[in-house]
Amino acid sequence: MVDQTITAGKPKPGSRLRAWGLLVIGFSCVWVFAFIVGPWIQDKIPTFRKIVQVIEERDIDAGAYFYSENKESYDGERYLLESLRLGAPEEVGFTLPFIGSIVLCLIILGLGYRYLPMD
């Protein structure tokens, strides 16, 4: 990323109190969402309430960004790979259709490189 000239926001002279007030309001909004608005929304949408229940029972990290941050990803990986090995061993690994899909991916990106609009 290109770092622009870093200009930190500066409060105008004489408005220090206002600035601190806004900061406190900002943190208060977070508190209100965490303890009042958020739980209220969860209660109003039945499916969401059930999803929250599942998240809490199974201790799922619903905020995770990458597969390695959820142990369920590893469980799923193990289950699916072993299922495939047991039920359809001919489909496991780098078969011709599998390699073909990877090649197709690279061809699509290659076409994009060549033909994406420059304006």
Partner 1 sequence: MAENKSGVVKDVGKWEWSELIKKEDWWAIWLGAFILLLGIIFYFPQSGNMMAKLEKAEAKYGTDAKRTAAYKTIAWYQLSDAKKKAKANSIGIGKWMKKFSGKPKKWSGNPFNAFVMGEEKAAAKKAKAVPKYEKAKTAEKAAYAKALTTEKAAEAAGFKDEKLNNAAKASILDWRDARLKASSAKKKTGAKAYNQIGYLILLGIVFAVFFGIGIAAMGNSFGDFIKAFPFVFLLAVLTYIASNQATMKAYGIGYALWAIFFGMLISNTVGTPKWAMPAVQTEYYIKTGLVLLGAKILFEKIIVIGTAGIFVAWVVTPTVWLVTYWFGQKIVKMPSKRLNATICSDMSVCGVSAAIATASACKAKKEELTLAVGLSMVFTSVMMILMPIVIKSTFPVDKQLILGGAWMGGTIDATGAVVAAGAFLGEKAMYVAATIKMIQNVLIGVIAFFVALYFTTKVEVAETGVKVGPMEIWYRFPKFVLGFIGASIFFSICYSYFNAQIGGLGGAMVDQGIIKGMGDLFRGWFFCLSFVSIGLATNFRELAEHFKGGKPLILYVFGQSFNLMMTLLVAYIMFYIVFPGLTATI
Q: Which residues, numbered 26-65, are part of the site for partner 1 (CB under 8 A)?
A: 26-27, 30, 33-35, 38-39, 42, 45, 47-48, 50-52, 54-65
* Minimum CB–partner distance for residue 64 and partner 1 (Å): 3
* CA torsion through residues 88, 94, 95, 100, sign: positive
Instruction: Single out the residue of 13, 14, 44, 66 in contact with partner 1 (rule: CB under 8 A).
Output: 66
- Calculate ∠ Cα 108-110-114, nearest 5°: 115
Return the ∠ at Cα 95 (arms to 94 and 99), rounded to 5°: 70
With CB under 8 A as the rule, give the number of residues binding partner 1. Answer: 84
Tell which positions 97-116 bind partner 1, by CB under 8 A: 97-98, 101-102, 104-106, 108-109, 111-113, 116
Name which of 14 and 117 has its Cβ closer to partner 1. 117
Distance from C-alpha of 25 to C-alpha of 116, rounded to nearest angstrom: 46
In whole angstroms, the minimum distance from the beta carbon of 24 to partner 1 comes to: 9
Q: How far is the CB of 14 from partner 1 (least distance, A)?
A: 14
For every residue of 22-50, DSSP letters joined together read HHHHHHHHHHHIIIIIHHHHHHH-HHHHH
